[in-house]
Amino acid sequence: MTVTEDAPVSELVAPAPSTPASSPSGLVAVLSSGDHKLVGRLWIVAALAQLLLVLGASLYVAAMRLDLAGLTKLTDSPSDWFSQIVTYRAIGGTFLVLLPITIGLATVIVPLQVGASTIAFPRAAAAAVWGYLVGSGLVIGAYSIDGGPFGTSLDGVRLFVAGLGLVVVSELLAWICIMTTVVTLRAPGMTLARTPLFSWSVLIAGAVWLLTLPVLVAMLVITYVFVRYLGEDSASIYARISWVFGPPAVYAFALPVLGFIATVVPVLSATRHHLHRFARTAIAAVGALVIGGWALPSFVGASTPWLYQLPWVAVSFLILIPVLALVGLWAVTLRNGQVTLASPLLFAASALLMLLVGLLAGAVQAIEPIKTLVDGPATSLYGTSWTTAVASYVLLSLAIALLGGITFWAPKLIGRGLREGAARGVAALLLVGTVLWSFPDLVSGLLGQGGDIPGPVAENVTAIEGLNAVSLAGGLFLALGFLGFLGLVVQAIRGHEGVGDDPWSGHTLEWATSSPPPAGNFPSLPEITSEAPLYDARHQEASAQ
């Protein structure tokens, strides 16, 4: 039989564009979304929840220091849970609360600031937040079964090391996503030189963490091997990782503080940032100086040559130069504009003040001839509660800046603004709390009180206990401030009134979209010819009229 008909032609037809699947909602959306706004909010909410635990631990430690003699019983007991809580305060405060809030805020705001429709590697960003949640659950679980540093449960100690490793790796992954967004997803016209200063500071901070945190991960891997196979004592864990919370490594936490202040000051002065390019360089200089785990005195043995200590002294002093330069730039910016004393500016001022005190105190402790004021053999200030106070000042300045950031960007985060008057009150409470919490530790460090793990002291006991009481009062102020802030956020979320797309008359692109931003972030973008495109557009309109 002859086939006369043509064979049917199979065509490769491109499917007609169809409507996207309906957007998921509820738990399914939370579990499956790669939207940077939702992922960032998850970071922030989870970290704020953990803040309550860290706050409780901090107040407990502060209360225990009221009776210095009684600490002997606690730290000498076989299950040294007091030291465990001290370590949880430091590790939880940095890796479970402050870094995650920084990452969360950056995850939401950076893509908006650079005019991107998404974060780079959105699913990796989602994996990072879930990894953090699982890892932090393991860390808390480990502490609850007598694990963690100074723990006696071997399983708990191993679980702690593994869980903290997962947390740190997740945070590294998140930083990679954020940095890649700044580097590769900037809108047309936004050169690296025109990148908003918050995004720039986050890029620098990410670079610092990218160079620093892998060292910590390696330390954790080594610790796991030592604990599991060589039967190492759990007390050594904290000694291995506590360099992250000490100067100069702790200054890396300050980078987003500088970025936040540099964003808020020109907006609330209704003028351009004075010498934007110079500010960018100064922030980069701070970043370059804080990549200095190698400059830590705790890495240095007694027999090492003097040159090993030179970087430590140099970093402690040099870091003040770019920060003071930035202070000068902000002062000029404020003078050039019309200042609105809104709550974000109060948060910014408080954070800056605390950061400056912290950096100055850090420089003082690097001066070798300054010793503790004790009758016995005087020691260097490094390692006393002076060092703890330096870290407290820097970390609390970050906490204040982050809460200020949430207040400033609340319209983009939750679609509503926080109550202005109450937010100002919170800023004041946090400032007073930080001063009362940290300053007594500077003085008691001079009087000989120990640093990381507080313990009994030989001299000046009454004076130190009195200072510790003031510190506890500061802790209560801080707790009141943090709880008040959480209340403000909850109140704003439950409220119904929108705040508008650009309540602060912002300068950068995040204010060019709706509050909260839609999927894809921007229906259209303004022309970008400077670091403040919305400020330009506003002034062009005004001059045209």
The binding site for other proteins (CB under 8 A) comprises 14-21, 24, 26, 28-29, 31-35, 116-118, 122-124, 126-127, 129-131, 133-135, 137-138, 155, 158-159, 162-163, 165-166, 170, 183-193, 284, 288, 294, 305, 307, 519-520
Nearer to other proteins, 139 or 464 (CB): 139
CB of 120 to other proteins, least distance (A): 9
Nearest to 254 by CA among 400, 123, 363, 108: 400
Q: For CA atoms 136, 204, 192, 169, give the dihedral sign.
A: negative
How far, CA to CA in Å, does 410 sit from each of 37, 365, 423, 454, 536?
Answer: 12, 38, 12, 38, 24
Nearer to other proteins, 211 or 458 (CB): 211
Nearer to other proteins, 121 or 504 (CB): 121
CB of 228 to other proteins, least distance (A): 8
Those residues with Cβ within 8 angstroms of residue 99's Cβ, 6 or more apart along the chain or in another chain: 171, 209, 253
CB of 211 to other proteins, least distance (A): 9
Those residues with Cβ within 8 angstroms of residue 267's Cβ, 6 or more apart along the chain or in another chain: 504, 505, 506, 507
Where b means 16+ CB within 10 Å and e means fewer, 283-317 reads bbbbbbbbbbbebbbeeeeeeeeeeeeebbbebbe
Beta-strand ranges (E) seen in 386-441 are none
Nearer to other proteins, 266 or 292 (CB): 292
CB of 118 to other proteins, least distance (A): 4
Q: Are 126 and 39 in contact (CB under 8 A)?
A: yes
Distance (Å, whole) CA 112 – CA 185: 10
CB of 70 to other proteins, least distance (A): 34
> What phi-psi label fits residue 231: left (phi over 0), alpha (psi between -120 and 50 degrees) or beta?
left
Nearer to other proteins, 98 or 120 (CB): 120
CB of 301 to other proteins, least distance (A): 13
CB of 394 to other proteins, least distance (A): 23
**What is the SS3 assignment for 510?**
helix
Nearer to other proteins, 44 or 429 (CB): 44
**What is the SS3 assignment for 129?**
helix
Name the one residue in this structure whose structure tokens are 């990679």: 176
Distance (Å, whole) CA 202 – CA 289: 15
Nearer to other proteins, 64 or 164 (CB): 164
Q: Are 392 and 437 in contact (CB under 8 A)?
A: yes
Nearer to other proteins, 147 or 417 (CB): 147
Those residues with Cβ within 8 angstroms of residue 211's Cβ, 6 or more apart along the chain or in another chain: 291
Nearer to other proteins, 28 or 331 (CB): 28
CB of 316 to other proteins, least distance (A): 17
Amino acid at 304: T
Terminal CA-CA length for the chain = 84
Distance (Å, whole) CA 371 – CA 363: 14
